[in-house]
Structure 1
Amino acid sequence: MYVLTPLQEDEVHTDQTASYTEQKQYVKKKPNGAVPETNKKSKKKKKKGKAEPPASAKSRDEKSLDSILEDLAIEKRPMQKSVHQNDRATGKEIQTIEMTAGTSSVLAIDPKHLKAENEMRRIFGSKVVDSLENQRNMPGTSRQVRGVRRAGLNPRRTLLVSPPGFWPAWDKSMSMDLVETKGSLKYFRYVYDPSVSHVQELFEAAKSANDLNAIAAILAKYPYHPDSLLTFADLFKYSGEHQSSADAVEKCLFALECAWHPLFNPLQGNYQLKYSHDLNKPFFTALFGHMKNLDRRGCHRSALEACKFLLSLDSDDPKGALFCIDYFALRSQQYKWLEQFAEEYQCDNSLWLFPNFSFSLAIARFYLERDAEDVSDHADKSTAVDLMKQALMLHPLVLSKIVDKAPLKDSSWTQILKNAFFGSAKPGSPSLEHVINIYVERHYIMWRFPELQNLLKEAALLVIESLKHDSREAQDWACVMKEAFSSEKNEYSHLLVSDFSDTTPSLPPEELRPFMVGPGMAHDMPPVEQEAGPERIHAPLEVVGRNAARVFLESLLPWVNYGDNRHGGNDQHDDD
């Protein structure tokens, strides 16, 4: 390393690679007399490179979008940030120092794949995504002056979400403390600022009374209160307004990310955020909901990165990220990574004993074999058929559940299920039955692909044929599962099967009414049929045809404006 003294005069700033916050830093130009040897070598290489003919203009035009994004991507090497907490909130320039040795892990997060915008650009193109982002950054509450661009309150970039400019500035109501350090791991937890410590008590009181107005009043004064935002996110979700629910979740994540400790670096992997601390729980809930929203939008690679982040936060895996990470890996075609993860990740049981990994590893091997250019690359590994056969031996109950859920309507499945091994299969333990139900609910859509149905059918027929010659093999596998899932209690009862489902049950307005008003006020509200009466005809265009319960809930939020309709329905309204 060379210690260089900056010039005292005529300082020249050069742009450096941004950290994961994508902010720019400026480095002073080094004096001409102190050039490291590495720079001299690079100059020689550049001179040699000049002799090579330049690339044609046509080849530059044909450069794919993926390669451009790769060039603009953030470096994978972890960066250690030396920044004050207030600098994170105000978006000031952040100094970054590269770590001498980074930690490599299967849970290492790739920041360029973490945001949905990058993946959507690959799918739909930059013009479409930029157009949608421009619409998002023009809320109905702000009047744009023609020819003048409105300055955003949140110009800073964050790792998890891209905040629109119309969001209010972060209120600094929370921060993150370093609790302790054990070995190479640092343990953190969220804390409230003493000046707003009473807000959580107000929220708990409003929640126990089912008073949504009180929660809305909290958001009016503290727009980044995590639990209040997550409450409205759930209400929007159950009323069928998934985009509004996703916006509330992203707003919660933005606030919680602003509160990160300077030493809390998701790209470094040496952190723990224990779920046992109550104030840490909103971050787990918001990140899990954000992961599901990414999957719903078709951004499976971004969902995989979010799932890796969620799994790395707490080694106890309180949200069950382990039961859906393989699904996101398959949907994003990260087959080699999935095999590497199954080999390297440490947990109480071997991952291949869980039903989701038993079947997903077979599917991953199937696609790797299909796409392999050289068959000898997989000569020393079990084939996809063998892995699928093993999965059916371990979890025969899965077959009948997949046939019903997918559904698989071919008549051959009826004959296969008549076999006693599949037709009379039992779960064996409450824990195993629960994780099987989670697997079927999360992964059933994978079995709608014809090639995977053929793989499953071939393996099932081989299992039946094998048991005709040696029935003791089934007993051996049953003993393995009994030892792996030996508890008589459901060890995964805290994980709801519905949380892993793609479908969300919607509640009718009459069931949401008790939550819209304070206690004892429901009888003063007009009947539901009156709410959709003739007076709705003159409502603004932004409200017509929308869910009445959702409109009422949304109107309580301080940043929502449907326009002034006192002069009739022909006035010009702001876009919502």
Structure 2
Amino acid sequence: MLDHVGELSRLFGSEVIGGSETYLRRKRSRVKRGMLVSIKSTWPPTVRIGLSMEPLGCGSYTFVHSKEYQNIQRSFYNALESMNPNNLSSILYENPYHIDSLLQLSEIMMHQEDTTVGTDLLERALHAFQSAFHPSFNPFNGSCRLDFKRQVNRGLFVALFRYILKISERGCHRSALEYCKLLLSLDYEDDPLTVLLMIDRYAIYSRQYSFLIDLYDSLNGSRNLYLLPNFGLSIPLARKLIGEDPEKCDGNKMSVDESLQDALIMFPGFVSRLLKHTSIGGITNLEKSILFGKEVLLSESDSLGCLLSLYVARMHPLWSSPNVLPWLEKNIATVLTLVEPKQLHLSESNTIDPRLSEYSKRRKTLYPAFPPKILRHLILSEVSEAPPILPRNLTSSPIYTFDPLPPRSSINIYDPEEERRRVRETMAGSGFLNGLLSSFLPSSSINAELALRGPSGAPIVSENASGSIGGIVRSAAETFSATLRQVLDMIDIRTVGLENEDNNHNNSSDEAP
């Protein structure tokens, strides 16, 4: 069981996150521990939710949906196509552990900046999964597998990925790292959400440098991790932070300094992007240099640029820190002497480092369009500096964050496109504006706003109404957030009521002669 609340307490002290040690002990006594998340006492019981798991052999498992759950899932697709979040709330009220409703509504609440409710919905989804685990399934032993190609399994991958992002925002980097290990182990060969693009961040921020170095050494030969900017740059950083002598070579292994210099020659776009967050002291006009200026423009593909932007967005605070930045500056200066003719004052005996041209060719040829698993990572990460670069064939269909870019070889028990087509035919007469806004707003709020408009659709002007689309969006979004909170409160109240009935029944039985 992973405990990010305990990690917060160790980092900041119990008073910061919830009061005294006595308070924390009382709180934990009221919370049951699950394999993935703690079980809150206000949550409904996971009884007959229609989700189970069965073994497939050779350490592989799959989730199973009951017939009742399958009917709920089809209702979910209908609600999704209706583009009315209130319909999703209705499904959740009747079925508080329906996975995709929890994931979709969690995403909506996160975008409304209601992270408390959004995170709670994510944790409920994880609790539903952990309640369905087969007795022999232990995700922490590293040998249990879930096939991402199976439609019924993908919700757990998505829920874990998004939960990692949320707890890391709270500073729980060690817990985030452990969840990363778990997520990577579920489909170790394919890594369908490309956990390897972020595991280095949590390893370094939680000071698990040896783990990261060992992971790189074990996988680099088979997966060419050195071509990923995050590993190319984070491995020398981890070696530096673990205390290796920066200039000492170990056999055929580069020194820490040489390793960083090699990464800078391979990924010069890292420096140009880092300059947006900090200044490189003692070095001027980097953008006019061959490597950090011209080469970035001429040889960096869009895909490589996106990976570098993602890395810098996640790691720039550490690279800009006082104990790292001077080391980086020293090695940038060394690289300039290796690749810049003006710095070398070339004579017949001096040549430019051959890696300048060799790595330029690599950057041009080794980073084509992203495979789906990297696109899934970018879609779920939602890093504004690194939006996913989607090919044209993917831009014509909706992409849902509860199941982004299903594999072509997906093993389905549902056909979402067929469900959407059927609902679209039913809704063919709906107005364009209403349908557009309903993609993220409750229909009642939209209809109420449209009622304020004149016969031609023009807004009726008043002193207190702007009549702007932005005003409609804000008002309706706030209304939906409040509605969803009420739904969750009703579910919790219903749960407490059932528990009280059970307690009263037990007490009366105890008192009977």
Please state whether the residue corresponding to 1:179 is helix, strand or coil.
strand
Q: Is the 8 A contact 1:514 1:522 kept in 2?
A: no
Q: Is the 8 A contact 2:112 2:481 kept in 1?
A: no
**Shift in Å at residue 462 of structure 1?**
0.9
Match of 1:285 among 153, 158, 174: 158
State how far apart, in whole Å, the 1-side matches of 2:452 and 2:294 are: 51
State how far apart, in whole Å, the 1-side matches of 2:286 and 2:15 are: 50
Q: Is the 8 A contact 1:362 1:388 kept in 2?
A: yes
Alpha-carbon displacement from aligned partner over 1:479-529 (angstroms, at most 9, x marks no partner)? 45566x26x433356245464456799xxxxx97653334x9723347799
Match of 1:517 among 438, 442, 449: 442
Amino acid at match of 1:473: R
**Shift in Å at residue 456 of structure 1?**
1.7
Amino acid at match of 2:50: S
Match of 2:304 among 412, 424, 432: 432
Please state whether the residue corresponding to 1:317 is helix, strand or coil.
coil
**Shift in Å at residue 376 of structure 1?**
11
Match of 1:553 among 481, 500, 504: 481
State how far apart, in whole Å, the 1-side matches of 2:305 and 2:127 are: 37
| 2:509 aligned residue | none
Match of 2:95 among 222, 245, 260: 222
Distance 1:118 1:192, change over 3 A: same
| 2:5 aligned residue | 117
Q: Is the 8 A contact 2:92 2:98 kept in 1?
A: yes
**Shift in Å at residue 558 of structure 1?**
2.5
Alpha-carbon displacement from aligned partner over 1:311-339 (angstroms, at most 9, x marks no partner)? 11112122221111001111001111111
| 1:162 aligned residue | 38
Alpha-carbon displacement from aligned partner over 1:137-168 (angstroms, at most 9, x marks no partner)? 99xxxxxxxxxx9x97xx64212211211111
| 2:266 aligned residue | 394
Larger mean CA deviation between 309-318 and 327-336 belongs to: 309-318
Matches within 5 A, 1:293-442: 293-314=166-187, 315-345=189-219, 348-369=222-243, 382-404=254-276, 407-410=277-280, 412-426=282-296, 427-442=299-314
Higher Cα Rg, which structure: 1
State how far apart, in whole Å, the 2-side matches of 1:133 and 1:220 are: 36
Distance 1:241 1:378, change over 3 A: farther
Match of 1:475 among 347, 353, 357: 357
| 1:92 aligned residue | none
State how far apart, in whole Å, the 2-side matches of 1:227 and 1:439 are: 29
Distance 1:364 1:321, change over 3 A: same
Distance 1:262 1:214, change over 3 A: same
Any stretches of 5+ residues in structure 2 without a counterpart?
Answer: 345-349, 387-435, 454-458, 465-473, 492-513
Distance 1:313 1:527, change over 3 A: farther
Amino acid at match of 1:515: F
State how far apart, in whole Å, the 2-side matches of 1:481 and 1:431 are: 10
* 2:108 equivalent to 1:235: yes
Please state whether the residue corresponding to 1:276 is helix, strand or coil.
coil
Q: Is the 8 A contact 2:177 2:202 kept in 1?
A: yes
Amino acid at match of 1:157: R
Distance 1:127 1:438, change over 3 A: closer
Amino acid at match of 1:558: V
Q: Is the 8 A contact 1:119 1:299 kept in 2?
A: yes
Q: Which gives a bigger RCO, structure 1 or 2 (Cα 8 Å, sep 6+)?
A: 2
Q: Is the 8 A contact 2:84 2:442 kept in 1?
A: yes
Match of 1:259 among 132, 139, 142: 132
User: How many residues align structurally?
Assistant: 408
Q: Is the 8 A contact 1:441 1:501 kept in 2?
A: no
State how far apart, in whole Å, the 2-side matches of 1:442 and 1:318 are: 20
Alpha-carbon displacement from aligned partner over 1:193-235 (angstroms, at most 9, x marks no partner)? 2233200000001001112121111111110111111111111
| 1:199 aligned residue | 72
State how far apart, in whole Å, the 1-side matches of 2:371 and 2:173 are: 28
Distance 1:232 1:436, change over 3 A: same
Please state whether the residue corresponding to 1:322 is helix, strand or coil.
helix
**Shift in Å at residue 398 of structure 1?**
1.7
**Shift in Å at residue 400 of structure 1?**
0.7
Q: Is the 8 A contact 1:232 1:245 kept in 2?
A: yes
Any stretches of 5+ residues in structure 1 without a counterpart?
Answer: 1-110, 139-148, 506-510, 535-545, 563-576
**Shift in Å at residue 378 of structure 1?**
7.6
State how far apart, in whole Å, the 2-side matches of 1:285 and 1:177 are: 20
| 1:41 aligned residue | none
Distance 1:313 1:350, change over 3 A: same
Distance 1:165 1:273, change over 3 A: same
State how far apart, in whole Å, the 1-side matches of 2:199 and 2:249 are: 24
Distance 1:157 1:496, change over 3 A: closer
Q: Is the 8 A contact 1:303 1:328 kept in 2?
A: yes
Please state whether the residue corresponding to 1:178 is helix, strand or coil.
strand
Amino acid at match of 1:118: G
Amino acid at match of 2:186: L
* 2:77 equivalent to 1:208: no
**Shift in Å at residue 248 of structure 1?**
0.8
**Shift in Å at residue 384 of structure 1?**
2.4
Q: Is the 8 A contact 1:369 1:378 kept in 2?
A: no
Alpha-carbon displacement from aligned partner over 1:370-410 (angstroms, at most 9, x marks no partner)? 7x8xx999855533221110101111122112212xx1235
Distance 1:217 1:413, change over 3 A: farther
Please state whether the residue corresponding to 2:34 is helix, strand or coil.
coil
Alpha-carbon displacement from aligned partner over 1:38-95 (angstroms, at most 9, x marks no partner)? xxxxxxxxxxxxxxxxxxxxxxxxxxxxxxxxxxxxxxxxxxxxxxxxxxxxxxxxxx
Distance 1:137 1:347, change over 3 A: farther
State how far apart, in whole Å, the 2-side matches of 1:378 and 1:414 are: 30
Distance 1:554 1:348, change over 3 A: farther
